[in-house]
Amino acid sequence: MGETQSEQSAVLAYLEHVADRFDLRRDIQFDTWVTDARYDEATQRWTIETSTGARASGRFLICAVGAPVDDQHARHPGHRDFAGETYHTGQWPHEPISFKGKRVAVIGTGSFRHPGDPGDREGGRPRHRPPAHGAVRLSAGNRPLSPEEMAEARANWDSIRAKMMAHPGGFPVDSHGRKALDATPEEREALYEKLWQRGSFKFFLDSYVDIAVSEEANATMADSVKAKIRKIVRDPKTAEKLIPNHFVMTKRPILENGYFETYNRDNVTLVDLRNDPIERFTRNSVVTKSGEHPIDMLVLATGFDAISGTMLRLNPKGRGGVSLKERWKDRFHNFLGLTIGGFPNLFMIHGPGSPGVFYNMPLGAERQLGWIGDCIRHLRENELGAIEPTKSSEEVWGNEVTTLANFTLFPRTDSWWTGANVPGKPRYFSAYLGGSIYYQRIADVANKGYEGFAFEPAKRA
C-alpha cells in the first residue's frame, strides 16, 4: 500500500517498474562513473570518459547529475582517525544497520531520520547529538494512503497535475494568498498548531504566503515554533540549544518523527559544538573542548555541497579546455539555469539558476527536459551545430536570480542554500525563486527564437 511519503524501497521498486515497463534498461549503463567530459570545438562534439574505461562521444551533453552531493569538506577532517563504523547520511547503506548496544555520535544537522530511531528500539546506549540551531524539524506526518485516496488521485489525475503546474513549488495544493499579519494572534496560533500537528511541508505551504518574505510574519511563526520546542523538550538548557536562531523556514526544514522528543530520553545528550567544538577523533572517541566522548559509531549528518556540487565534481571542460571549476570560481555563471557560456551544447537539470530544490524536482526535471528536447530539435531543423548563451544574457539572468532572492529572507540565513556550509564556495543564493514563472520565462526565450543565445552553423564532418 502507498504512503504519503514513500519509503526508499518503495521509490526504488517504482523506478524499477518504470524502467521495465518502458524498456529503458537497454539505454542505461549502471555502475559507470563519468570521470571526464570534454568539448571539441573542431567537431562540435562532447567526449566522455568513464570509470569502466569506455569512452563515448555525442553532440549534446545533458547533465542530470542531481542537486546534492555529500560534502567531504564539511566533514570534520580528523574523522578518519575514528576506527569504528562510520556512515554519512548521503551514502546510507541499503543493508539494515544495527545500533543495538552501541554508543552513537551523530554529528551535524543534515537529514537523518532521527537520532533515537533504530537504536532506541534495540536498546542503544548513550548517543550524542552535538549540533544546535539547525533547521526546523517538522513531523513527517507519514501515513498509509487508503484505497479510496488512491482511487481518487487516479480519477482526478489531470486536475492534480494542472494544480502542480500552476503552483509556485510544483505541489498539488491550492494557493490561498493568506497573509500572517492580516490574521489575529489567536487565529495564527490556531492555524500553526493545526498544521504542526498534521506535519509535513504543509506547515509552511498551508500557513501564510508572507512567511519567507516578511520579517514580522516570519517572527509570528518563529515564536510559535520556539514555544513548541520549549514545551516538548523538558530540559530548558537543551531546548534553548535546539531553538532556531535564524528566520524559520530559511533553512531547509527536515521531516522526521519524534525528533525533539528524543532529547527527553536519558540515553541522549546534546553537545553544542559552537561552544564546545570538536578538537579531534581517536580510534574510539570524539574529543570536544569539554572532554572525551567514547563512541562505537559515528553518523555524519554534515550536509551536502548542494546545487552546484555535483556539476563541479563532474567538472566538464568547455571551449579552450577551460574547466567548469575555473568558470565557476567566483559565481555559478549560467543562463536559464540550463546552459553555461563557454560550454556549448551542454545542458543542466536542476543546476544553479534554476528552481532546483525549490521545486518538485521530478516535475522540474520533466519540464526542463521538455525545453532541452525542443532546443535540440531547433538546432537539428535549422542545421545549427552549437548553441551557447551570450555573456550579457548570463549577466541578466544572474541579476534576475539575485533580485528575486532578495525579495525574500532566504539569502539572510547561512545555509546550504546559500553555500555557507562549504568553505570557499561562492556565497550567494543561486536558485531561481520564481517557481512556475521560471517555466514561463524559459518558454518565452524559446518562442523568441532562443533569444540570448549565440549559434554556430553545423560544421561538416
Ligand X SMILES: Cc1cc2nc3c(=O)[nH]c(=O)nc-3n(C[C@H](O)[C@H](O)[C@H](O)COP(=O)(O)OP(=O)(O)OC[C@H]3O[C@@H](n4cnc5c(N)ncnc54)[C@H](O)[C@@H]3O)c2cc1C
Question: Which residues of this chain interact with ligand X, rule CB under 6 A?
Answer: 33-34, 64-68, 111, 304, 310, 314, 349-350, 357, 360-361, 365
- Minimum Å gap between C-beta 107 and ligand X is 16
Residue whose CB is less far from ligand X, 165 or 219: 165
Match 554529528 to its residue by C-alpha cell. Answer: 107
Residue whose CB is less far from ligand X, 111 or 139: 111
Residue whose CB is less far from ligand X, 304 or 432: 304
- Asked if 351 and 335 touch (Cβ cutoff 8 Å), the reply is no
Q: Which residues pair with 86 in a beta bridge?
A: 298
- Minimum Å gap between C-beta 293 and ligand X is 27
- Minimum Å gap between C-beta 304 and ligand X is 5
- Minimum Å gap between C-beta 118 and ligand X is 19
Neighbours of 398 (CB within 10 A): 19
Cα separation, 22 vs 305, in Å, equals 33
- Minimum Å gap between C-beta 249 and ligand X is 12
Q: Crossing angle of helices 436-447/157-166, nearest 10°?
A: 80
Cα separation, 442 vs 45, in Å, equals 25
Residue whose CB is less far from ligand X, 68 or 119: 68
- Minimum Å gap between C-beta 429 and ligand X is 14
Residue whose CB is less far from ligand X, 161 or 234: 161
Tell which residue, 311, 320, 1, has the closest CA to residue 146. 1
- In the chain, the N- to C-terminal Cα span, in Å, equals 55
Residue whose CB is less far from ligand X, 10 or 181: 10
- Minimum Å gap between C-beta 305 and ligand X is 10
CA torsion angle 80 82 83 89 (round to 10): -70
Q: What Cα–Cα distance (Å) separates residue 370 from each residue in 145, 399, 425, 443? A: 31, 25, 31, 10
Residue whose CB is less far from ligand X, 114 or 293: 114
Q: Which residues pair with 303 in a beta bridge?
A: none
Residue whose CB is less far from ligand X, 305 or 388: 305
- Minimum Å gap between C-beta 170 and ligand X is 8
- Minimum Å gap between C-beta 310 and ligand X is 5
Residue whose CB is less far from ligand X, 263 or 304: 304
Helical H runs in 342-390? 361-381
Residue whose CB is less far from ligand X, 28 or 42: 28
- Minimum Å gap between C-beta 303 and ligand X is 8
Residues 6+ apart with CB under 8 A from 225: 136, 192, 243, 244, 248
Strand runs (DSSP E) across 243-360, as ranges?
254-256, 268-269, 278-282, 285-288, 291-294, 297-300, 304-306, 346-348
Q: Give the long-range contacts of residues 402-410, CB within 8 A, separation 24 or more.
A: 402/428, 402/429, 404/432, 404/433, 404/434, 405/429, 405/431, 405/433, 407/213, 407/433, 408/212, 408/213, 408/250, 408/433, 409/212, 409/213, 409/215, 409/218, 409/247, 409/250, 410/212, 410/250
- Asked if 251 and 108 touch (Cβ cutoff 8 Å), the reply is no
Residue whose CB is less far from ligand X, 66 or 118: 66
- State how beta strands 68-70 and 304-306 pair: antiparallel
Residue whose CB is less far from ligand X, 161 or 391: 161
- Minimum Å gap between C-beta 435 and ligand X is 12
Match 569502466 to its residue by C-alpha cell. Answer: 52
Cα separation, 430 vs 330, in Å, equals 12
Question: Among all residues, whose Cβ is closest to ligand X?
Answer: 66
Tell which residue, 16, 54, 14, has the closest CA to residue 35. 54
User: In what order do the strands lie in the sheet containing 285-288?
Assistant: 278-282, 285-288, 291-294
- Minimum Å gap between C-beta 117 and ligand X is 17
